[in-house]
Amino acid sequence: MAAPFEIEVEELDRRRKAGDEMVVLDVREPWEFALCAIDGSLHIPMNGLPGRVDELPTDRDVVVVCHHGGRSAQVTMWLRSKGFDRAINLDGGVDAWARRIDPNMKVY
């Protein structure tokens, strides 16, 4: 069964705190990831993902993150087309995470 297409940052935070075993996949560029990132996220830049897609699990949710949610929505659609039914876009991206969950995180 496919997961919902998007998740809000509050729901992601709740699920992570509850110990939900998911992968947070950050598809931003290396310079962006160096500025700020959600703890424990897997960093694979968007343009490198086709060569590294085998690093992603198919048996749990993969929450895809970018700056505001645009690139991650594209990646989520691409992953779903490749059979990753549990790929989920993080609505608002790392910017929403910083503003609503982790006020100590840098914003850019």
Q: 36 catalytic, yes or no?
A: no
Instruction: Look at residue 90 and give its three-state secondary structure.
Output: strand
Cβ-based burial of 39 (10 A; exposed 0-12, middle 13-18, buried ≥19): exposed
* Cα separation, 104 vs 21, whole angstroms: 24
* Cα separation, 57 vs 21, whole angstroms: 11
Query: In which element (H, E) is residue 32 found?
Result: helix 30-35
Catalytic residue among 27, 56, 62, 66: 66
* Cα separation, 46 vs 7, whole angstroms: 19
Active site residues: 66
